[in-house]
Amino acid sequence: MSDASFQSTSREWSLSGSGPLYIQLRQLLENKIECGDFRPGDPFPAEREIADLCSVSRVTVRKAVQALVADGYVVQRHGSGNVVAESVERVEQSLSRLTSFSEDMQRRGRTVRTSWLEQGIYPASPEEMIALGIRSDTMVSRIARLRIADDTPLAIERASLSTNHLPNPEKVKNSLYALLEEYGCKPVRAVQRISAINLNAEDARLLEVPLASAGLRIERISYSSHGQVIELTRSVYRGDAYDFVAELQIGDAAK
Amino acid sequence: MSDASFQSTSREWSLSGSGPLYIQLRQLLENKIECGDFRPGDPFPAEREIADLCSVSRVTVRKAVQALVADGYVVQRHGSGNVVAESVERVEQSLSRLTSFSEDMQRRGRTVRTSWLEQGIYPASPEEMIALGIRSDTMVSRIARLRIADDTPLAIERASLSTNHLPNPEKVKNSLYALLEEYGCKPVRAVQRISAINLNAEDARLLEVPLASAGLRIERISYSSHGQVIELTRSVYRGDAYDFVAELQIGDAAK
DNA sequence: ATATTTAATACCAAAACAATACCAATTGTC
DNA sequence: GACAATTGGTATTGTTTTGGTATTAAATAT
Just give the CATH number of B21-84: 1.10.10.10
Which residue's C-alpha is at the least distance from the C1' of C6?
A20
| B144-169 residues labelled b (16+ CB within 10 A) or e (exposed) | bbbbbbeeebbbbbbbbbbeebbeeb
pLDDT band at B252 (very low <50, low <70, confident <90, very high): very low
DSSP 8-state code for residue B45: P
Round to whole Å and give the CA distance between A179 and A172. Answer: 7
| Domain range A97-247, CATH class | alpha beta
Contact flag, residue A57 CB and nucleic strand C, below 7 A: yes
Residues B64 and B26 sit within 8 Å (Cβ to Cβ): yes
Neighbours of A140 (CB within 10 A): 24
Rounded to an integer, the average pLDDT of B174-199 is 78
Rounded to an integer, the average pLDDT of A47-75 is 91
Rg of chain B taking only CA atoms, in angstroms: 21
pLDDT recorded at residue A173: 79
pLDDT recorded at residue B160: 94
CA of A23 to C1' of C3 (A): 22
Give the 3-state secondary structure percentages of chain B, helix then strand then coil, rounded to 5. 30, 30, 40
With 80 as the cut, is the pLDDT of residue B188 above it? Answer: no
HSE value, Cβ hemisphere, 13 Å, CA-based, for A25: 23
Round to whole Å and give the CA distance between B20 and B13. Answer: 16
Tell me whether A96 touches chain B (CB under 8 Å). Answer: yes
| Long-range contact pairs involving A222-227 (C-beta distance under 8 Å, separation at least 24) | A222/A187, A222/A189, A222/A190, A222/B250, A223/A187, A223/A188, A223/A189, A223/A190, A223/A191, A224/A185, A224/A186, A224/A187, A224/A188, A225/A186, A225/A188
Domain ranges of chain A: 21-84, 97-247
Q: How many residues does chain A have?
A: 255
Answer with the residue of higher pLDDT: B251 or A18.
A18
From chain B, pick out residues whose CB is under 8 angstroms from the CB of A251. Answer: 90, 94, 188
Residue of B126, B174, B166, B164 lying closest to B142 (CA atoms)? B166
A55 forms beta bridges with none
Rounded to an integer, the average pLDDT of A239-249 is 73
Rounded to an integer, the average pLDDT of B66-74 is 82
pLDDT recorded at residue B8: 45
DSSP 8-state code for residue B42: S
Answer with the residue of higher pLDDT: A88 or A231.
A231
**Residues A215, B196: C-beta atoms closer than 8 Å:** yes
Mean pLDDT of chain B: 79
Count of pairs with CB atoms under 8 A, one residue in A, one in B: 182
Tell me whether B171 touches chain A (CB under 8 Å). Answer: no
With 80 as the cut, is the pLDDT of residue A18 above it? Answer: no
Residues 6+ apart with CB under 8 A from B254: none
Q: Does the interface ipTM go beyond 0.90?
A: no
pLDDT band at B105 (very low <50, low <70, confident <90, very high): low
Nucleotide with C1' nearest the A58 CA: C8
Round to whole Å and give the CA distance between B117 and B206. Answer: 10
Chain D: bases < 7 Å from a protein Cβ: 5-12, 17-23
pLDDT recorded at residue B103: 54
**Which among A188, A215, A222 has CB closest to B214?**
A215
pLDDT band at B96 (very low <50, low <70, confident <90, very high): very low
* A50-64, A76-90, A159-173: segment of lowest average pLDDT: A76-90
Round to whole Å and give the CA distance between B211 and B185. Answer: 38
**Residues A94, B247: C-beta atoms closer than 8 Å:** yes
Residues A199 and A207 sit within 8 Å (Cβ to Cβ): yes
Round to whole Å and give the CA distance between A155 and A66. Answer: 45
Query: Strand pairing of B229-238 and B152-162?
Result: antiparallel
Rounded to an integer, the average pLDDT of A242-247 is 72
Round to whole Å and give the CA distance between B245 and B254. Answer: 19
pLDDT recorded at residue A45: 92
Query: Strand pairing of B82-84 and B43-44?
Result: antiparallel
| Domain range B88-238, CATH class | alpha beta
Tell me whether A210 touches chain B (CB under 8 Å). Answer: no
Round to whole Å and give the CA distance between A190 and B228. Answer: 33
Q: Name the residue in chain A with its Cα closest to that of B16.
A: A1
Residues 6+ apart with CB under 8 A from B150: B110, B111
For B193-236, how does the pLDDT look when each residue is reduced to its tens digit (9 = 90+)? Answer: 888 999 999 999 999 999 999 999 988 898 888 888 989 999 99
From chain A, pick out residues whose CB is under 8 angstroms from the CB of B148. Answer: none
Answer with the residue of higher pLDDT: B54 or A72.
B54
214-243 in A: which are within 8 Å (CB) of B?
A: 214-216, 222, 237, 239-240, 242-243
Round to whole Å and give the CA distance between A27 and A71. Answer: 12
For A167-222, how does the pLDDT look when each residue is reduced to its tens digit (9 = 90+)? Answer: 888 888 777 887 887 887 888 888 888 889 999 999 999 999 999 999 999 898 98
* Amino acid symbol at A80: S
pLDDT recorded at residue B86: 65
For A72-114, how does the pLDDT look when each residue is reduced to its tens digit (9 = 90+)? Answer: 889 888 888 898 886 544 555 555 555 566 666 666 667 778 8
From chain B, pick out residues whose CB is under 8 angstroms from the CB of A49. Answer: none
Answer with the residue of higher pLDDT: B106 or B208.
B208
Tell me whether A107 touches chain B (CB under 8 Å). Answer: no
From chain B, pick out residues whose CB is under 8 angstroms from the CB of A191. Answer: 245-248
**Which among B104, B108, B191 has CB closest to A93?**
B104
For B114-170, how does the pLDDT look when each residue is reduced to its tens digit (9 = 90+)? Answer: 788 888 889 999 999 999 989 888 899 998 988 887 778 888 989 999 888 887 887
| Secondary structure (DSSP) of A9-22 | SS--S---SSS-HH
With 50 as the cut, is the pLDDT of residue B90 above it? Answer: no
Q: In what order do the strands lie in the sheet with A74-75?
A: A43-44, A82-84, A74-75
pLDDT band at B91 (very low <50, low <70, confident <90, very high): very low
CA of A47 to C1' of D23 (A): 20
DSSP, collapsed to helix, strand or coil, labels residue A50 as helix
Round to whole Å and give the CA distance between A198 and B237. Answer: 14
| Long-range contact pairs involving A119-128 (C-beta distance under 8 Å, separation at least 24) | A119/A143, A119/A144, A119/A169, A119/A170, A119/A172, A120/A169, A120/A170, A121/A163, A121/A169, A124/A160, A127/A232, A128/A160, A128/A232
